[in-house]
Structure formats: C-alpha cells, structure tokens
Amino acid sequence: MSRDQQSFVSSERSPVWSPLQVGAYADYLALLSATNPVVAVEDILARDGELLLTQASLLDQKSIVRLKNKMLARPLADSIRIEKTITAGDLLQHLLDTIRSTEYFQSLAERKHPLSSLEPVCAMLSDLPLVQQFLTVMAAQMNDLYHRTLCVSLWSLYIAQEMRLPAHDSGEIFLAALTHDVGMLHLNPQILHKPDELTADDWQHVQSHVDISTKILRDIPGVSPAIVTAVTEHHERCDGTGYPFAKVESELSIPGQILAVADAIVGIYFNRFKAQGRRWREVIPVLEMNRAAYLYRSCDIVTTMILRSELPLPNLVSGSGVPEFAERMLQQNLHLQNWFTQLRECLTSVGYTHGDRKLHALQNVVLHIATTFKGSLLFKEDLRESLESMASEEADSISKVVADASLVQQEMAFHLQRLSRMMQMYISSGEGKDPKITQRLQDGFTKISGYIGSSTNTPQS
C-alpha cells in the first residue's frame, strides 16, 4: 500500500484478524483455480473438527461456499497447493520486464545497478513456498498491486545497495518489500475498490493490512524477525505521524525506513504522476517537502538516484493552456490557505495540556505543515505575481519554478486531506480523554469537511 493511504489510527482498535478465518483470500483462490488449479493437499477441517473439504479437492467457487463463515483448524494457505506458482526465475523475469518498460529503472540499471544484481535476491524466493503462493495470487487477482510491489522491491534493493549495506541485509530488505502488502489479499475488495470517499471505518480496515501482513509473515518458516519488523514499520514515519504504533525515528529500524520511503515514492508516482504522463524526476520536490517524515539519508539517496538518471522534466502545459493553468493555481492556493487556517484554529484552540498522546500527534502534524510550507515557494509574493501575469496574458510555457510549485501545491493538498482524515478518525474512535475537547473538534471538523475532496489539484487517495 502506498503513502497516499496514510492516516492516524490506534493500533488497539485495528480490526481483529486471524489466519484461520476464511475471507477474501479464499475467493481469490477460487477465481485463480479456473485457470491455474488450486487443490487441497490435506483434509480441510473447521476448528470444531467438521470436515469441510477432503484432500485433493479442487478449490473452486462451489467448494469455497463450504468454507464461508468458518474458522479453520489450520490456515487455508498451509492446506492448499497452486499448480503453477511464481518461481525465482519468474520473479526475475517480471523484474527485468519492469525495468525494461520503465524509462527511469532502465536508465538506473545502465548507470549503476546491473541486472545481474537481481539474481541472488530472486533466488531467495525458492526457499519460501508460501511467499510464492501469495505472489501468484496477487499477480493473478490484484495485478496492479503486484506491479507496484515489484517497483517497491526494486527501489528498496537499490536504496539498500546505495547505502552499502551487507548483501544479506539488502536481500532481507528486498524480501520485506516483496511481502509488505500480502495483507491486502485478505481485505474486503468492496472497500478497496469503493468509488466513494472512504469512511473512517473503511480507512481503519485498509490500514489493518499492516497487522495482517505481520501476522502472516511471523508464521512463515525462513522469514527472519528483521523482515517482519520492516513490514510492520512500512507505514511508520520518523516524525511520529505514521501507523500502526505512531513510532518516532529512534524507535524505527533502518530496513523499515528504507521500505517506508520506497513504498511512499512508488505511491506518489503511481497515484499522481503516471496517469498524467509525468516522470520520476517530479517526485523530488514532493520528497523534499516530507523530509521530516523519512530517514534523511534515504531521502538524499533517492534524490541522487533520480538525478543520476538524467531524465528531463516534461513540459506540463504550454501555449493557450498556460493562463488557465495559472488561474487554477491561484484559486487553489487560496483554497488551501483557508483550509489550513480552519484546521490550525480547530486543533490549537484546545491547548496543549490535555495529556492525550493521539491528540498531540494531530497537533504535531499541524506544526509540521506550518513549518514545511512556510519556507516553501508556494505562497511567495514573486510566485503570486508570476502566476497573475501568466493568467492575464498567454505564455509559451510555464517555468520550472512554477512547475515545482504545482507539485508542492498538490503535496499540501495531500497533507491537509490526510490531517483532516486523521482528525475524523480520532473523533470517531471515541478514545478522546476529554469529551468537551472531542465535541469542540467535532464542531470544527464540520466546518472543515467541505474542503475535503473539493480541491481540483488534490491527488486521489
């Protein structure tokens, strides 16, 4: 899962999940079985001893019905075999295809990271049949997630290599990246593909993928504690605004933070830039705006790697489209300023002596946003004057400064959306220590709710 789905959540309130329950994963297996047979390798029993499926039974749509609403004696993944799973050789080929079809990865491989460096880490998959199973299901039933996982794995490996970590550690970081989202296979597809704005409960369900991935990996022979820790931490942030435990930098592992920044930049690229035909180079201004959230060294390495590729910035808009673009940016700036003012007033009006750690985390995000964007070029007078001039008379193209400002603008919209959602989840959790403060926040959120999702430049989460 990408960084565009971050928000505040209490780990104690994460939905309870057990590897013994039958859910979305069983449905994915049944769909896969139509083209790639999935067979029970043992009798599948309910926890109370009831025989549900006999050994050698085919898992199809009909047989899966017998497992519904049952708690199994053993995890379903341990009791089945897929006829053809993704092998180490298949994984290597999929990574090579990803590199050759992606201008940035191809440039990077040519300059610094030879394709041969992938062979040893892919070979590790041969000793992990359950991971092979999960990747096979993901590739068949959630192909977009699988492709993103390959990209996160490449980024994680390259960052680890740039940091000159030992080969063993780099390999473990690669495996953590490869498995960090296996929990998504167990989430409700209706929520994952919901066309409407997700509710606080929906976000809590989505965020539970971290806990599910952790539980799954912890029980797989050959998966080290370091890999499990990295997966658990891939949505944690150095400034304490991540989940599920809101850890800070001193509490986080290096592998976890390498995976975190790799997952984040892939999310930024796929959720915002790819559909617009934009390039990896444009991730840099966004990453610069978020240095407090990620390990500084990894941010520097990512920036260096992207610049090393020497890919040029595309021209976002030109000719007759420039005035409209500039006017839209001016209106968006005003919208964002008003939105942030409402959020800041709401969250700071309750004071700082309440002793509520979760509320303090929300207030820290406000301070982070204020500090980050105060020093940015977004609200500088010369930028406003430049935009007003562009809006009033046709120009051939926009400048690099304006192009970067548009990225910063999108980033601020993301942060305000995220903070608004964090605030909503805090209010709905019922865990506020002071009912009066919670009510004040609720009143404030009512005013803010009109801003959420109304921004034309706001990236889709």
Q: Secondary structure of 240-282 in the HEC alphabet?
A: CCCCCCCCEHHHCCHHHHHHHHHHHHHHHHHHHHHHHCCCHHH
Q: Are residues 282 and 423 in the same domain?
A: no
Q: Are residues 49 and 145 in the same domain?
A: no
Give CA separation, 436 vs 354, 359, 362, 413, in Å.
11, 13, 17, 29
Q: Are residues 141 and 250 in the same domain?
A: yes
Q: Of the candidates 35, 50, 74, which is a domain's last residue?
A: 74
Positions of the chain with pLDDT under 50: 1-15, 456-461
Predicted local distance difference test score (pLDDT) of residue 336: 87
Distance of CA 31 to the CA centre of its chain: 26
| Cα–Cα distance, 230 to 232 (Å, whole number) | 5
| Cα–Cα distance, 46 to 441 (Å, whole number) | 46
Q: Are residues 255 and 392 in the same domain?
A: no
Predicted local distance difference test score (pLDDT) of residue 12: 38
Could you tell me if residue 5 is inside a domain?
no
User: Taking a C-beta distance cutoff of 8 angstroms, is the pair 219, 257 a contact?
Assistant: no
| Cα–Cα distance, 20 to 50 (Å, whole number) | 14
Predicted local distance difference test score (pLDDT) of residue 396: 55
User: Taking a C-beta distance cutoff of 8 angstroms, is the pair 119, 10 a contact?
Assistant: no
Q: Are residues 65 and 95 in the same domain?
A: no
Could you tell me if residue 52 is inside a domain?
yes
Give the number of domains in the chain: 3
Could you tell me if residue 242 is inside a domain?
yes
For the chain, what is the HEC assignment? Answer: CCHHHCCCCCHHHCCCCCCCECCHHHHHHHHHHCCCCEEECCCEEECCCCEEECCCCECCHHHHHHHCCCEECCCHHHHEEECCCCCHHHHHHHHHHHHHCCHHHHHHHHHCCCHHHHHHHHHHHHHCHHHHHHHHHHHHHCHHHHHHHHHHHHHHHHHHHHCCCCHHHHHHHHHHHHHCCHHHHHCCHHHHCCCCCCCHHHHHHHHCHHHHHHHHHHCCCCCCHHHHHHHHCCCCCCECCCCCCCCEHHHCCHHHHHHHHHHHHHHHHHHHHHHHCCCHHHHHHHHHCCHHHCCHHHHHHHHHHHHHCCCCCCCCCECCHHHHHHHHHHHHHHHHHHHHHHHHHHHHCCCCCCCCHHHHHHHHHHHHHHHHHHCCCCCCHHHHHHHHHHHHCCCCECCHHHHHHHHHHHHHHHHHHHHHHHHHHHHHHCCCCCHHHHHHHHHHHHHHCCCCCCCCCCCCC
Q: Are residues 209 and 168 in the same domain?
A: yes
Could you tell me if residue 6 is inside a domain?
no
Q: Are residues 154 and 195 in the same domain?
A: yes
| Cα–Cα distance, 5 to 26 (Å, whole number) | 25
Could you tell me if residue 217 is inside a domain?
yes
Give CA separation, 76 vs 50, 180, 218, 244, 364, in Å.
15, 20, 16, 26, 42
Cβ atoms within 10 A of the Cβ of 334, count? 10
Print the domain residue range for 294.
Answer: 88-308
Predicted local distance difference test score (pLDDT) of residue 69: 84
Q: Are residues 109 and 152 in the same domain?
A: yes
Residue matched to tokens 């046709």: 394
Could you tell me if residue 3 is inside a domain?
no
| Cα–Cα distance, 247 to 240 (Å, whole number) | 5
Could you tell me if residue 100 is inside a domain?
yes
Q: Are residues 170 and 302 in the same domain?
A: yes
pTM: 0.73
Predicted local distance difference test score (pLDDT) of residue 318: 55
Q: Are residues 134 and 228 in the same domain?
A: yes
Backbone angles phi, psi at 317, to 5 degrees: -155, 150
Burial class of 270 by CB neighbour count within 10 A (0 to 12, 13 to 18, 19+): middle
Q: Are residues 25 and 167 in the same domain?
A: no
User: Taking a C-beta distance cutoff of 8 angstroms, is the pair 425, 204 a contact?
Assistant: yes
- CA geometry: angle 276, 204, 440, nearest 5 deg: 100
Strands 51-53 and 44-45: antiparallel
